[in-house]
A and B are shown apart, each in its own frame.
Chain A
Amino acid sequence: MADGQEWDIDSLLAAARIDFAVRLPLRIEEIELLATGEKWAEARREIHKLRGSAATYGFEDIGSTAVFLEDLLLAADGAPSPDARLRFDEALRDARAQADRAAQEGL
């Protein structure tokens, strides 16, 4: 570091993980809003980002749910069918519960 201090990388990583966890419900909320507005391309992009970062930060349950959501939207290639939409909403509720739990642990 410029000030000569050693990087306490473990603390920084832990802080970044907590910061990520407490913002998870907001990220799910954003996806919910995009889905409500049927902005499927944007929703897929946000889900894709969540998929990568959740798995990387060690939130593998949310990462797996995001994989399911993204695959569903990729298969739909646009607006999901009514049946797919039901499964999408159900998985998104799971993601919301997982995100809330992660945020609680983070706090």
Chain B
Amino acid sequence: MSGVAKSSRDDAQVFSQGEVVADTYEIRALLGAGGMGEVYEAHDRQLNRRVAIKVVRNNVAADYLLREGRALAAIHHAGVVTVHTMGRHRGIAFLVLERVQGISLDRLIEERRKHSERFAVGEAIELLVAVADALTIVHRAGLTHRDVKPANVMLAPGGRVVLMDFGLVLPHADRAGHRTVAGSLDYMAPEALTGELAEGAAHLVDVYGLGVLAFELLAGIRPFDSAEESTDVYRMKMSSPPPAVASRRSDVPDRLSTLIGQMMAADPNERPQTAEAALWQLRSIRDRRGSAATNKPFTVLVVDDDPDMRTALALYVRAAAPGADIETIGDGRQAIRSVRRRVPDLLLVDLDLPDINGVEVCMLVRGMQLGDACMIVSVSGRATRADVELLTQLGVRSIQKGPSVMNELVQLVQQMRPRS
């Protein structure tokens, strides 16, 4: 549920746990609540699946719900939450949505902040490409999201990045709606703060939101401080040029820093004129980094608490890739820190590690949304069938410790080397 549009919250839940909505959806838990309404997890008794049910508290908000439902119904894309149906129960309008499991980007940013860890540049670019891709689809459907922010981006299993909460969505053509001030202060474009959107330029508030999100991902902080009153934030956004991400961290390519600055331009005419334009630039930056990487050595991270295994694995890699840059590490936490610092082409990880186990390491690395930038291989002496199944789902290859490790590893590295 979205920021400025919130009103005071009524603590009583609209639906109660166990209640069956419209003879079909059994309410299981409250997932979240805001000023405008609530989102529940429910079980669809007909189709035997989990769903999310969104309800609103009043008729004005019901209009938003209808708008959200219709907007989502117009879009079919992995990066946008799917709507199943709409209905009424006890006179209350509700929207049935796909239940997206995962972690929201704002929580992930907060986790990293707590541990003084940053998103790797490659990881941030992959996330931005995914969000820009989803926004492109939304804009092509003639809609403006109006609340692009990390809290509305879910990271789901399988590397899926999903744009959520279309509660403030508006058709580009809705002139009256665009005069309503709505969104979340930190991520709102200056023109959205005043409700003065130029005709045909409403979607540029989403480009601005994407820019702020990008800045936060890379810098770890937001560019403007919303502790101020909204008028002060507006003044800041209008009078100060957006800070450059590259000034916060030296590993951000200048092109990316410039693009993020352009997306956050106070004048909408100075931003990339569509989400798609931003998307193509992001892809180009990603691809250029990829081709620059082809001149870099093949990088390998070996994680095993047994020094003898580390030696053996490093030698096997060396046998197939003599010039490989190999780092060896004895525990999982250090491995995660290392991957965040530099994403290896190949990560070899033991499952039985003393602090966080290898399966968790694989899950955390997959959660970094590195795409195919990092091949993960578990090398274990005692993987259970459940471990192997989970690892397979995570796209992790498994090798059993033993005399065949060398051959398997040499073959694998030789297959991978053309990439490096």
Contact = CB atoms under 8 A, between A and B. Distances in A.
B204 to A, nearest CB: 52
Contacts of A13: 315, 319, 406
Contact of B306 (A1, A9, A16, A52): A52
Given A7-B318, A48-B381, A53 B308 contact: yes
Nearest to A9: B319
B405 interface: yes
B352 interface: yes
A49 B350 CA distance: 10
Contacts of A68: none
Given A13-B315, A13-B319, A57 B308 contact: yes
Given A20-B308, A48-B381, A55 B401 contact: yes
B414 to A, nearest CB: 13
Contacts of A12: 315, 318
B315 A52 contact: no
A65 B380 CA distance: 17
A36 interface: no
Interface string A1-36: 100001101001100100010010000000000000
A90 to B, nearest CB: 22
Contacts, number: 60
B311 interface: yes
A56 B403 contact: yes
Given A7-B322, A16-B315, A48-B382, A53 B306 contact: yes
Nearest to B382: A48
Contacts of A9: 315, 318-319, 322
Contacts of B305: 45, 49
Given A9-B319, A55-B401, A55-B403, A49 B312 contact: no
A29 B315 CA distance: 27
A78 interface: no
A1 B323 CA distance: 6
Given A12-B315, A16-B312, A49-B305, A56 B405 contact: yes
Interface string B302-327: 00011011011001001100100000
A58 B381 contact: no
Nearest to B403: A58
Nearest to A5: B322
Nearest to A13: B315
Nearest to B410: A9
A72 B12 CA distance: 56
Contacts of B322: 1, 6-7, 9
Contacts of A52: 306, 309, 350, 380-381, 401
B318 A63 contact: no
Contact of A56 (B312, B318, B352): B312
Nearest to A1: B322
Nearest to B313: A56
Contacts of A58: 403
Which among A48, A55, A56, A57 has the highest number of chain B CB atoms within 10 Å?
A56
Contacts of A96: none
Nearest to A45: B354
Interface string B336-364: 00000000000000101010000000000
A11 B309 CA distance: 17
Nearest to A12: B315
A82 B240 CA distance: 76
A89 interface: no
Nearest to B319: A9
Nearest to A50: B306
A45 B381 CA distance: 12
The interface centre, meaning the residue of A9, A53, A63 with most chain B CB atoms within 10 A of its CB, is A53
B402 A63 contact: yes
A53 B307 CA distance: 9
A12 B354 CA distance: 28
Contacts of B319: 7, 9, 13
Given A12-B318, A16-B311, A58-B403, 16 more contacts: A1-B322, A7-B318, A9-B315, A13-B315, A49-B305, A51-B381, A52-B306, A53-B308, A53-B312, A55-B402, A55-B403, A56-B309, A56-B312, A56-B401, A56-B402, A57-B308
26 contacts: A6-B322, A7-B318, A12-B318, A13-B315, A13-B406, A16-B315, A45-B354, A48-B381, A48-B382, A49-B305, A49-B309, A51-B382, A52-B306, A52-B380, A52-B381, A52-B401, A53-B308, A53-B309, A53-B401, A55-B401, A56-B401, A56-B402, A56-B403, A57-B312, A58-B403, A60-B403
